[in-house]
Structure 1
Amino acid sequence: MLTTHLLAIFLVSAIVAHSKALRFPQELYNLSSNQIFIVDNLSRPPSSSASPTPLLSPAVSSPLVPALFIIGDSTVDCGNNNYLGTFARADRPPYGRDFDTHLPTGRFCNGRIPVDYLALHLGLPFVPNYLGQTGELEDMLHGVNYASAAAGIIFSSGSELGQHISLTHQIQQFSDTYQQFVLSLGEDVAIDLISSSVLYVSIGINDYIHYYLRNVSNVQNLYLPWGFNQFLASTMRQEIKNLYNTNVRRFVVMGLPPIGCAPYYLQRYKSNNGECVEEINDMIMEFNFFMRYMTDELLHELPDAGIIFCDVFQGSMDIIRNHKSYGFESTANACCGLGKYNGWMMCMSPQMACRNASDHIWWDQFHPTDAVNAILADNVWSSRHTEMCYPMNLEKMVFSQSLNNLV
């Protein structure tokens, strides 16, 4: 293993030797202790380890970006909460039963989460969780996942479930990672790595589930939904600017899904035939409207940044309305749970789970199945099923910025 000093000298030499068009030294891609190899991403071999096997998309011979960094909540948590004292954990069966290792990893799904699929599109291995890393440089070069289940934009959202890593704290962890890159690689290389990578943000749903809809601190009397949405969007705007000041230049900002259609709220609001709770979905649509508007503002304010907003509500509703064409049979019932719509109690044992999750839209009370995550990830990457990302999808942003770097 190279020492930090020798590694820094090696990297500087590599940059000098390569043309500017490469932007980031290709040698870094081979420093990981987990060697990257090409496999068919449709095959999912079992493993004796709960750690996901590094996979590379067969369509890409080398990574399209240096790394993928992830900030968010349970929609993209890949195991950080396994290390926290919290009820918001997915480290037990049947979570992960359809994942590549067939073991629970901390993902709130039967299989892969959206960022797993996006990593493959980008030609990267699955991104490791922050708390499970040793802190070694090579463990973080392809990206880090800081997401924590129950986290929200508001610091205290989800706190009744126990510990979680707040949005502000996740951003601080990202900043710490950046500083480690600076110390180990040098400032120029660190800036190049971060600015050429993609940062994916998926957070905000717990500010409704665990804060506004529970009327914590009498918030509903202080804010009408419109004002609450404005507050959340303005907070996100400032946090994105903070990340920009840490040299992030490629953002994927995810909107919120239609939780008014989630099994938990179907049973709680006594939906008769699986009809979505419109008053909840209306709030989510308002939030996504503000977030898209905020994205447009930031694009004008930060002209050298690439920021795309992906309306998960729009993409998810297309799946629900056209579920037959997507191959889904059940739009209201969770695959795993108890009670009406399997939404009364969370997924706690394999006996509570359906046999085939791939024909269900919902895996548990709030989270979609692997099959839905794959569709949404395809939409983020290439708008394959429906256009839900603005002003462009991730594939166009990556390739358009790559072409700009050649100029």
Structure 2
Amino acid sequence: MALPSISVVLTLLLLLQILKTDAKVSSIIVFGDSTVDSGNNNYIPTVLKSNFKPYGRDFDGGRATGRFSNGRVPTDFISEAFGLKTAVPAYLDPAYTIKDFATGVCFASAGTGYDNFTSKVLSVIPLWKELEYYKEYQSRLRDYLGNDKGNEVLGEALYIISIGTNDFLENYYLLPSRSSEYSIEEYQKFLAGIARNFITNIYKLGARKISLTGLPPMGCLPLERTTNLASGGGCIDEYNKVAMDFNQQLQALVETLNKELSGLRLVFVNPYTTLYDIIQNPHSFGFEHSAIACCGTGRFEMSYLCGEDSGLSCSDANQYVFWDLSTLQRKQTAY
């Protein structure tokens, strides 16, 4: 019996929402964090990288591309589903040219968030800089295709935004600055305001088909469960409630912007319930482990701590819901 991998589940969630809009898609344009980063962090001075094994071991050719995954990320599957390239290239990768980027480009940076302060924690690309790269890309695309064709591609492209978990787990709950400045409810509103401004900005720049992804059950990520000793390694309910509350705010934002911005087709993709069900009932979905990850000991490793030299990573990622401490494993699986 064939059972869906996490990537397939997320891809289907996205497609079901996207197909409610205009299904004609000329290009995939990606903003966000490690959930969709296809290698931009390889080219910036940060410790948060994944361009080494065991990352990428199930990617075509077994290459570690800088994706925080054993294989492809959801946006790669989305691109392929629309008949475009099988892997969306990273904008900062010098191996690619504007010809490659004409049908898909990724500006995402692992470790970033809506909040600019979040990107400073690990010295990654802030969301405002992703937007600046996009503006640069627009200019290059018009030079390459001509103004009319370039604008047509930009208008028919699907824009995918996947971001937000780091704002809470790497910033608000880890460092004192934001938590002393905002209550958790105030911080959620602060982030939702940034999301609103970002979507409005790319709309003004020509985006019309936009997918906004909500938060997963972040209290059930392996690192959070490892540190939750008080409940014996269970999910942190407070974090999960914050994720659900924030998703409700994003859903309301989507409804508001669709009314305010003429011609906008903005969809909200909420992965929370589906992923929570998989985490709580892994065997029903063909997995063996959901409390620990494949990489390293599966409890706290990510990036260099997942290095192949550790010799601790699992032999079969298909048995694990998570690849590393916060990243879902992506390999398509058939049983």
TM range (shorter): 0.7 to 0.9
- Alpha-carbon spacing, 1:151–1:344, altered in 2? closer, same or farther (3 Å): closer
Residue 150 of structure 1 aligns with an amino acid whose one-letter code is: G
**Contact 1:158 1:211 survives alignment (8 Å):** no
Q: What SS class does the counterpart of residue 268 from structure 2 fall into? A: strand
Name the SS for the 2:36 alignment partner: coil
| 1:205-284 → structure 2 map (5 Å cutoff) | 205-217=165-177, 219-270=178-229, 272-284=231-243
CA contact 2:293–2:322 (8 Å) conserved in 1: yes
Match for residue 112 of structure 1 among 46, 57, 72: 72
Matched, 1:140 2:97: no
Q: Deviations over 1:233-263 (max 9, x none)?
A: 1110111000001101000111111121111
Contact 2:112 2:163 in 1 (8 A): yes
Q: Does the CA contact (< 8 Å) of 1:271 and 1:277 recur in 2? A: no
**What's the offset of the Cα at 1:175?**
1.2
8 Å contact 1:264–1:366 — kept in the other structure?
yes
> Could you say which residue in structure 1 is the equivalent of 2:257?
298
CA deviation after TM superposition for structure 1 residue 272, in Å: 4.8
Partner Cα separation in structure 2 for residue 150 and residue 267 of structure 1: 20
2:312 matches 1:342: no
Q: What do residues 87-128 of structure 1 show as CA deviations (whole Å, max 9, x unaligned)?
A: 110011100111122121101111111111111111111111
Contact 1:64-1:123 at 8 Å conserved across structures:
no
CA distance in 2, matches of 1:305, 1:323: 37
Q: In the alignment, which residue of structure 2 is the partner of 1:154?
A: 115
CA distance in structure 2 between the partners assigned to 1:106 and 1:319 by the alignment: 26
Q: Give the match for residue 327 of structure 1.
A: 286
Q: What is the rounded CA distance, in whole Å, between the counterparts of 2:230 and 2:41 in structure 1?
A: 32
TM-score (normalizing by structure 2): 0.87
- CA deviation after TM superposition for structure 1 residue 273, in Å: 4.9
- Distance in 1 (alpha carbons) for counterparts of 2:326 and 2:308: 16
Determine if contact 1:268/1:344 at 8 Å carries over to the other structure.
Answer: no
Contact 2:293 2:325 in 1 (8 A): yes
Q: Which moved more, 1:205-214 or 1:135-144?
A: 135-144
TM-score normalized by structure 1? Answer: 0.72
1:275 CA displacement: 1.9
Deviation at 1:321, TM superposition (A): 2.9
Cα distance in 1 for partners of 2:150, 2:285 equals 42
Decide which of 43, 51, 54 is 1:94's aligned counterpart. 54
Q: Secondary structure at the match of 2:76?
A: helix
Amino acid at match of 2:62: H
CA distance in 2, matches of 1:271, 1:111: 34
- State the one-letter code of the partner of 1:300: K
| Identity between Structure 1 and Structure 2 (%) | 33
Q: Which stretches in structure 1 are left out of the alignment for 5+ residues?
A: 1-62, 376-407
1:194 to 128, 133, 154: 154
Opposite residue 112 of structure 2, the aligned amino acid is A
The amino acid across from 2:133 in the alignment is Q
2:24 touches 2:156 (CA, 8 Å); kept in 1? no
Q: Distance in 2 between matches of 1:137 and 1:77?
A: 18
- Other-structure match for 1:42: none
Q: How many residues align?
A: 308
Which of the residues 120, 123, 128 maps onto 1:168? Answer: 128
Q: Indicate the SS of the match to 1:74.
A: coil
**2: CA distance between counterparts of 1:236 and 1:274?**
32
User: Which is bigger in relative contact order (C-alpha 8 A, separation at least 6)?
Assistant: 2
Map residues 392-407 of structure 1 onto 2, 5 A cutoff.
Answer: none
Paired residue for 1:355, among 312, 315, 322? Answer: 315
Q: Secondary structure at the match of 1:264?
A: helix
C-alpha separation between the residues in 1 aligned to 2:184 and 2:135?
32
Instruction: Choose from 7, 24, 29 the match for 1:69.
Output: 29
Find the aligned partners of 1:135 and 1:324 in 2 and give their Cα distance.
41
For structure 2, which runs of at least 5 residues remain unmatched after alignment? 1-22
Deviation at 1:331, TM superposition (A): 1.2
Q: How does 1:74-89 map to 2 (within 5 A)?
A: 74-89=34-49
Paired with 1:271 and 1:113, the residues of 2 have a C-alpha distance of: 33
Counterpart of 1:178 in structure 2 is 138
Distance 1:135 1:363 in 2: 27
The whole-number CA distance in structure 2 between the counterparts of 1:135 and 1:326 is 37
Deviation at 1:271, TM superposition (A): 5.8
Q: Tell me the SS of whatever aligns to 2:29.
A: strand
